Chain A
Amino acid sequence: MKLTVEMLARQVEGRVQLLAPGVGLFSDAARPGRILVPGDEAGVLNTLDVPAHLVVPAGVAGRVITELPERVHSPVDYEAVLYELELVGEQLVPEAHADAAALDADGMVVRAHHAGRFWRRPSPDMPFFAEVDTVLTEGDAVGLLEVMKTFNHVLYRATGGLPPRARVTRVLVEDGGEVEDGQALLVVEPA
């Protein structure tokens, strides 16, 4: 079975970079001048002799301006720049936390009290602590925050303008997502 893996994308000064999604030997690179669009295959990353066909992720398009690597099998590490793309037409790379940031401004949000990893359920086979429409009251757990291999509950606190009873309207962080100190986790409204 053919293994395909999406490359990572990053926007740098009006250009888009496509990055290696793992560690391995990069081969079959797309030539300069080729226009890449989402879903295109562009090169192979061999990790322990298992070839992964590299695919252009959604929202990214452009003309390859990177020269071919000097070596047929070029060793790369994670996030190594494989291609730089020059834009042709409208730029489509999504801004990662754009709408979370917008919501930060005025919505009622529950925030992380520490940087770490946010888990939405106690274990993969258990239900989420809080989902859209869950009603929260003081002391309810909304998730777990993993910091230095220790897990602490993130509790709902009716302070800082949050109501005593709140209904979740949006969940902003995926299960296992990394969060910064103070990052918004959930958007709520009075219930």
Chain B
Amino acid sequence: MFHRLLIANRGEVAVRIARAARQLGISPIGVTSTADRDGSWTEYMDEVVCLGPAAARESYLSRERILQAALQTHSTALHPGWGFLAEDARFAALCRQHGIAFVGPSAALIARMGAKSPAKRAMREAGLEVIPGSDGPVDDLETAVAVAEEAGYPVILKADLGGGGRGMRRCDSKADLQAAFNAARAEAEASFGSASVYLEKFLTGGRHIEVQILADAHGNAIHLGERDCSVQRKHQKLIEESPSPALSDAERLELGARAAAAARAVGYQNAGTIEFLRAADGPIYFMEMNTRLQVEHPVTEMVTGVDLAVAQLEIAANRPLTLRQGDVRFDGHAIECRINAEDPSCDFRPSPGKLERFEIPTDRGPGRVRVETHLRAGDTVSPHYDSLIAKIIAHGSDRSEAIATMLAALEGAEITGVETTVPLHRAVLSSDAFASGDYDTTTLPGW
């Protein structure tokens, strides 16, 4: 096992990974920007290297500085967390080039899954259903029109290297497509450095359902069930839960098995997530694969009892998975709420500032509560980085107990100094629409 692990990230995920490292007897080494240097979360690290100024480009996104920090602290492994460089194939390759184990899949696999159409093609070949559309990028208008006719309008043009909801154009007719095609290519070129675009049927609504995968370097791949992340605002996940209220037990097992088989087929290694869209009319389509740990991973941990961050480090150290698919038990129901420093009554305006009170009770019952955060009272929520200040994860014997547990924790939460999304979560969790389990990604139940 590694002796020292460089955690190439900040805040909540850095703390989460440091905890996993300590559990395995690994010394966690942190990095910061000058804006984070005084953050209390850095105390979880055995050593901290300041990378550069607040701007991520010169600190958390500087491949050279991070890698140099790993080398001069004698770290032999690097965990990228999520966001920043977590899905940067060049960074993963650079780590390996310098003899540092990158906690994640190979650079080639990150690159393949990071570009939309190669990922789609690989997963279709691996047996997953994909959204009808072009087989790879479309380079000319004539082909685009032909593909669109076959898939049926409306269609959507997407930049191959796009992401985060950017670089997409919806076309409702042939005339729309003719008007949009060249502009979409030019935009893709300007924004993402490649004019490559692909086309698929435009689907709206539906459920966002994703399957957690663990795969080792010895050909073993298992799934740890699904998470339903359909409560979203502007494509940003707010609440995640497992199991999904939208799937039957038979569907859930089949989806998990197919996802694990697909991961095995593409040669995936480490923890990963395959995201699916369950369309309003029934089919479950592959959307994308995230080649990293996810923000909402604790939901899976709460129902399976598996520590995903620990598993990631063990896999990176070439240990075989000891857990077999048949050993995975799914116990009860878990829900996660992402608490952001945003004002839900003022169009979710960011609300950085100093936390005066910061208490989230974990003992109100009826189920169990886990809080993931890097902050405590007196800390400052920085304006430089994202607004996530805590995740509350509630577990109950069934969905209604999990909801009741979450509501009790939210009712007892006392956070002052910044505005938070706690009121939004309370409204959603106590709504009939959320309780019914019947909603899609375009509606916020209860809000």
Give chain A's interface residues, CB within 8 Å of chain B: 22-25, 47-48, 50, 75, 77-80, 114-117, 147-150, 176, 178
B65 within 8 A of A: yes
Instruction: Tell me the minimal C-beta distance from A78 to chain B in angstroms.
Output: 5
Determine the chain A residues whose CB is within 8 A of the CB of B51 once the complex forms.
23, 77-78
Stretch of B66-74, B181-189, B199-207, B217-225 lying at the A interface: B66-74
User: Secondary structure of the A side of the interface?
Assistant: loop
Residues of B326-348 whose CB lies within 8 A of A = 341-342
Instruction: Tell me the minimal C-beta distance from B70 to chain A in angstroms.
Output: 10
Determine the chain B residues whose CB is within 8 A of the CB of A147 once the complex forms.
350, 352, 383
State whether A23 touches B68 (Cβ < 8 A). Answer: yes
State whether A148 touches B65 (Cβ < 8 A). Answer: no
Determine the chain B residues whose CB is within 8 A of the CB of A150 once the complex forms.
350
State whether A77 touches B350 (Cβ < 8 A). Answer: no
Instruction: Tell me the minimal C-beta distance from A133 to chain B in angstroms.
Output: 29
Determine the chain A residues whose CB is within 8 A of the CB of B386 once the complex forms.
148-149
Instruction: Tell me the minimal C-beta distance from A72 to chain B in angstroms.
Output: 14
B49 within 8 A of A: yes
Could you give 18 example pairs across A and B, Cβ below 8 Å? A22-B52, A23-B51, A25-B72, A47-B64, A47-B68, A48-B64, A48-B67, A48-B98, A77-B51, A78-B65, A114-B352, A116-B383, A147-B350, A147-B352, A147-B383, A148-B386, A148-B387, A178-B54
Neighbour of A23 across the interface among B49, B55, B385, B387, CB < 8 A: B49
Residues of B25-46 whose CB lies within 8 A of A = 34
- In the docked arrangement, what's the CA distance between A3 and B98, Å? 22
State whether A115 touches B52 (Cβ < 8 A). Answer: no
Neighbour of A77 across the interface among B67, B69, B352, CB < 8 A: B69
Shortest Cβ distance from B342 into A: residue:
A148
Determine the chain A residues whose CB is within 8 A of the CB of B72 once the complex forms.
23-25, 75
- In the docked arrangement, what's the CA distance between A76 and B52, Å? 12
B50 within 8 A of A: yes
State whether B65 touches A149 (Cβ < 8 A). Answer: no
State whether A78 touches B52 (Cβ < 8 A). Answer: yes
Q: In the A-B complex, list the 10 residue pairs whose CB atoms are closest, starting with the nearest.
A: A75-B72, A148-B350, A23-B65, A77-B50, A148-B387, A77-B49, A78-B50, A147-B350, A47-B68, A78-B52
Determine the chain B residues whose CB is within 8 A of the CB of A79 once the complex forms.
34, 50
- In the docked arrangement, what's the CA distance between A15 and B34, Å? 22
* Central interface residue in A115, A148, A150, by most chain B CB within 10 Å: A148
Interface size class of B (residues with CB under 8 A): 20 to 34
- In the docked arrangement, what's the CA distance between A131 and B67, Å? 40
State whether A115 touches B352 (Cβ < 8 A). Answer: yes
State whether A23 touches B383 (Cβ < 8 A). Answer: no
Given A78-B34, A78-B52, A149-B385 contact (CB < 8 Å): yes
Determine the chain A residues whose CB is within 8 A of the CB of B67 once the complex forms.
48
Please give 16 more A-B residue pairs, beta carbons under 8 A apart, in addition to A78-B50, A148-B352, A148-B386: A23-B50, A24-B68, A24-B72, A25-B72, A47-B68, A48-B68, A75-B73, A78-B34, A78-B59, A79-B50, A114-B352, A115-B352, A117-B384, A147-B383, A148-B350, A149-B385
Write the B377-420 contact mask toward A (1 if CB under 8 angstroms, else 0): 00000011111000000000000000000000000000000000
- In the docked arrangement, what's the CA distance between A148 and B83, Å? 14
Residues of B87-113 whose CB lies within 8 A of A = 98
Instruction: Tell me the minimal C-beta distance from A64 to chain B in angstroms.
Output: 23
Instruction: Tell me the minimal C-beta distance from A180 to chain B in angstroms.
Output: 10
* Central interface residue in B59, B72, B383, B384, by most chain A CB within 10 Å: B383
- In the docked arrangement, what's the CA distance between A146 and B52, Å? 19
Instruction: Tell me the minimal C-beta distance from A36 to chain B in angstroms.
Output: 23
Determine the chain A residues whose CB is within 8 A of the CB of B49 once the complex forms.
23, 77
Determine the chain B residues whose CB is within 8 A of the CB of A47 once the complex forms.
64-65, 68
Write the B175-198 contact mask toward A (1 if CB under 8 angstroms, else 0): 000000000000000000000000
Shortest Cβ distance from A145 into B: residue:
B383
- In the docked arrangement, what's the CA distance between A176 and B384, Å? 12
- In the docked arrangement, what's the CA distance between A85 and B348, Å? 49
Determine the chain B residues whose CB is within 8 A of the CB of A115 once the complex forms.
352, 383
Instruction: Tell me the minimal C-beta distance from B380 to chain A in angstroms.
Output: 10
Determine the chain A residues whose CB is within 8 A of the CB of B59 once the complex forms.
78
Determine the chain B residues whose CB is within 8 A of the CB of A176 once the complex forms.
55
- In the docked arrangement, what's the CA distance between A143 and B227, Å? 40
Shortest Cβ distance from A150 into B: residue:
B350
Determine the chain B residues whose CB is within 8 A of the CB of A24 once the complex forms.
68, 72
Determine the chain A residues whose CB is within 8 A of the CB of B342 once the complex forms.
148
